[in-house]
Amino acid sequence: MIDPQPYQPMLCPVCGQFEFTPLEATDLLFRECLQCSVCGWKYDHNQIRDPDLKPGQNTLSLNEYKAWFQAQRLKDPDYNFLEATYEATPHLCPVCQQYTFADENSFDICPQCGWCDDALMAKEPDQWAGNANDLCLNDYKARYERRANDARNSYRPLEVGRRECCFSKQETQKMKGLEQ
């Protein structure tokens, strides 16, 4: 949990390129800590007050973190914590389970069932019809299964030896007459 008491909006003391903005109610409810997306430093009031204090939210002290971040930037001038630590999360299509989307919330289209990968629609399967997909996930699934069933039921193996004659009745009678 974030402790709102000593929190002060400020630029990140490590990289100076990220702004810790005023806290919102959702931050307090859903986030364990506030983290700079440029250098990865986690906001810790005590570590700001004492830059040699460790561990806190960060295992390294503020001074050590600064040195670490500078070393990353020396190796790669464009180093960005979020990009460097990002991991894609492949996941199965929630409708047909037959296709793997490469990443969470990719907005790719499943080639099997046409579902557009939308994390919010997958999380709240009874809502959000008419956005990335025309139906909500549960309805989309039901429609997909119905169509897959229909396709299975209308399939008939070829019946060998029962071909329709391509001549009309009159023509076949004429031919029979000629044979006699």
**Least CB distance to Zn ion at residue 159 (A):** 33
Amino acid in position 154: S
CB-nearer residue toward Zn ion: 95 or 122: 95
Where b means 16+ CB within 10 Å and e means fewer, 89-124 reads eebebbbbeebebeeebbeebbeebebbbbbebbee
Q: Which helix (H) or strand (E) holds 20?
A: strand 19-20
List, in order, residues 6 or more apart from 141 with CB less than 8 Å away.
94, 95
Q: Which is nearer to Zn ion, 19 or 171 (CB)?
A: 19
Q: In the bound complex, what is the minimum distance in angstroms from residue 81's beta carbon to Zn ion?
A: 8
- Residues found near Zn ion in the complex (CB under 5 A): 12, 14-15, 18, 36, 38-39, 41, 93, 95-96, 99, 110, 112-113, 115
Q: How far is the CB of 16 from Zn ion (least distance, A)?
A: 7
Backbone φ and ψ for 19, nearest 5 degrees, come out as -105, 120
Measured from the CB atom, the residue of 53 and 114 that comes closer to Zn ion is 114
In the complex with Zn ion, which residue's Cβ is closer, 46 or 173? 46
